Amino acid sequence: MANVVVVGSQWGDEGKGKIVDFLAHDADVIVRFQGGSNAGHTVVTKKATYVFHLIPSGILSRGKLCILGNGVVIDPGALIEELDFLQGQGIKIGRNLAISPRAHLIMPYHKAIDKAAEKAKGARRIGTTGKGIGPAYVDKMARLGIRIGDLLAPEVFRHKVEENLVEINSFLRRVYNAKGFIAEKVCEEYLPYAERLKQFVADDSLLLHRAMESGQSVLFEGAQGTHLDVDLGTYPYVTSSNACAGGACTGTGVGPTKIDAVLGVTKAYTTRVGSGPFPTELSDDVGEGLQERGQEFGATTGRPRRCGWLDAVVLRYAVRVNGFSSLAVTKLDVLDGCRHLKIAVGYRHAGKLYKEMPSDLHILSECEPVYKVLPGWFASTTGVSSYRALPVEAKRYLACIEGLTGCPIDIISTGSGREQTITLRNPLTRTRPRVKVPRASA
């Protein structure tokens, strides 16, 4: 059994929730390692559709331990709301959930700063969800953060809130002309959360160490995607945490030598929510068709996602910085009916050809994609669960992705349901024989 990190290879929304839920059957522990309730992982089962914002998608699988790692920032009110919703749906949550005492809290003033800052930027806005994620990480790095463990110690919590608000209230009033917060009211809202959450608080690093030492398999669930990583993404149009595979170690207290594989999740095309460069974006009927067929609207915000052709330059970068062992390709069925398909194999800018992603955001924003054109297919792939049953053109398309990225495909998703999945090899068990996908040259 292996310990596997699941990471988005584009700008998030790749379908990681479904992939984690699908793989959770063969894992013992599922741990979320970064981000906050700005994430939206959708899982469709025969019974219902679930949208997860904080709790790992693996909670739907019985007998699995799900952990919120120290790298996650937690809005306790949002977490309790999610717990109540899932329990109302008949999902049992008790000893199968653990929360790191080192995870930082999202406070009411973080949300206020987030919304005020975004509004003040005007046309330069980043496109945040306004849920306080960024300001919570700012306080964490400034060593002003308040953690889950502090919430369990009322006097410690109260003291930290009072100290922080001296500076925060002044900042809100002077910079954004916004109302400040009263420490006592914040404490009245937050301290009762401790009673509900204390049963779940446990040392995530120790739990994971013991699980691995006993031979159990751990699935690390990332949120957002590679190109939203605060260090390696299209900065400043990024999230505030490390969404790349390296964040799995720092966000859970697990050493890199304990990771056996990294699975990159990619859509068969490309989407992005919010502002920022997007070289293969389609602002025509084709893009609208992808958006409509793919139901490309944010699970957390409902915002429409920008859609475009698959970008192999974006994927190659993700393969490199994450060290992907393999790929999971989702939403292949959305491409059904396309006469031609395009994959960006490079960019042109000011007469120069780029085969790799430029780090200069100004250049990236002005790049024109260089496309490889492939024939599409008209047969339906929706629900296909056998590689052999795919149209030959779909197989060639997948082979082209492997050739352009140098990374093998292990999983293909042909719909939102669990059963609508083709497994060429299971990265967790490594027991199922891999079906050979025809190679295509880059």
Distance (Å, whole) CA 171 – CA 181: 11
Catalytic residue among 21, 41, 114, 410: 41
CB 17 within 8 A of CB 112: no
The verdict on whether omega for the bond into residue 236 sits within 30 degrees of 0, i.e. cis, is yes
List the structure tokens of 368. Answer: 């024109």
360 is catalytic: no
Distance (Å, whole) CA 27 – CA 5: 12
Contacts of 309 (CB under 8 A, 6+ apart): 269, 270, 280, 282, 341, 342, 343, 344, 369, 371
Q: Where are the beta strands (DSSP E) in 339-395?
A: 340-349, 352-354, 368-375
User: What is the helix, strand, coil percentage profile of the chain, to 5?
Assistant: 35, 20, 45
Distance (Å, whole) CA 17 – CA 222: 9
25 is catalytic: no
List the structure tokens of 429. Answer: 């068990």
From the number of C-beta atoms within 10 Å of its C-beta (0-12, 13-18, 19+), residue 155 rates as: exposed
Backbone angles phi, psi at 349, to 5 degrees: -150, 125
Smallest CA-to-CA distance from 116 within 171, 190, 167, 160 is with 171
CB 20 within 8 A of CB 221: yes
Smallest CA-to-CA distance from 68 within 36, 101, 32 is with 32
Reading phi first (left if > 0) and then psi (alpha if -120 to 50, else beta), residue 52 is in beta
Contacts of 139 (CB under 8 A, 6+ apart): 104, 110, 145, 146, 164
Q: Give the 3-state secondary structure of residue 195.
A: helix
C-alpha count within 13 angstroms, C-beta hemisphere, residue 364:
19
Smallest CA-to-CA distance from 63 within 31, 30, 86 is with 30
Q: Give the 3-state secondary structure of residue 33.
A: coil
Catalytic residue among 13, 139, 150, 229: 13
- Show which residues are catalytic: 13, 41
